Amino acid sequence: MPVGLAVAYKSPSQRTRIISEAWGRRSLYCARCDSPALEPSRVNAKLVDFVCPRCAAAFQLKSQSHRFSRRITDVAYHVMRRAIEESRAPHLLALQYDPLTWCVRNLILIPSFALTLSCLERRKPLALTARRSGWVGCNILLFNIPVDARIEVVSDGSPSRPATVRRQFSLLKPLEKVGYERRGWTLDVLNIVRSLHKPEFSLGDVYRRSEELQLLHPKNLHVRDKIRQQLQRLKDMGLVAFAGGGRYLLKS
Ligand SMILES: [Zn+2]
């Protein structure tokens, strides 16, 4: 990463922003189309940092020096919630760098259509003593996003091939045109199926996790019907195959 650019900045968060944005201008590419570069965004800077010059896909870059574990701290809760509801959320790039060498260690891409209300958490309002007292931020809950939608662009310092990143992105792209509530169900069922860690599973395996789905969708009283419907959708997307007799095969 181009560390020299930040010598004039004292605040660690400003340094991280300047350095990671400069790195992004030089190194990021679009996963949605074949554009080899992304351009810095000047519009809606709160939510969007980069835009694809070819397909206009919007990206947000979040950088930090420690590993992304279960949550990514993001913008104001109401801003992200509305963006998800109106299908305006950007694709999220979560970058982890080594603070000693300023090398990119990990970069995960979460396509915007994998962001649903199931993975959005409202944080506590900032304390009265804080400069922005009462401000409510949000967390993106990584454990509620299926592994399929956590695309590794850089893993332990090694970049993935752009073709691999684009192929993984395109597997989920059919969800792009689906409303957030419907794709929320699809992704939640996919997350459960992946978390079984079995190449072959039964309808009963997924039914046994109905309670988790009920918690994520408290208003829906027909969870089992939804599970069957979503398995059909996952089959249409090529992520699952029917093996007959209530058995399913998970495609990698
Ligand atoms: Zn593009």
In this predicted model, what pLDDT tens digit does every residue of 168-194 receive, in sequence order? 999 998 888 888 888 999 999 999 999
Most confidently modeled range among 40-54, 168-182, 224-238: 224-238
Q: Report the pLDDT averaged over residues 85-90.
A: 92
Count the Cβ atoms, other than its own, within 10 Å of residue 26. 10
The residues near 240 (Cβ < 8 Å, ≥ 6 apart) are 193, 231, 234, 248, 249, 250, 251
**b/e burial code for range 79-98 (CB count within 10 A of at least 16 → b):** bbeebbeeeebbbbbbbbbe
Tokens 């454990």 belong to 143
Report how far ligand 1's centroid is from the alpha carbon of 120 (Å).
25
Ligand 1 centre distance from Cα of residue 92 (Å) = 14
Distance of CA 51 from the midpoint of ligand 1 (Å) = 8
Res. 155 pLDDT band, cuts 50 70 90 = very high
Is residue 44 scored above 70 in pLDDT? no
Q: How far is the CA of 176 from the centre of ligand 1 (A)?
A: 14
Residues with CB under 5 A from ligand 1 (ion): 30, 32-33, 35, 52, 54-55, 57
Helix axes 180-195, 223-236, angle to 10 degrees: 90
Exposure on the CB side of residue 15, measured as CA atoms within 13 A: 14
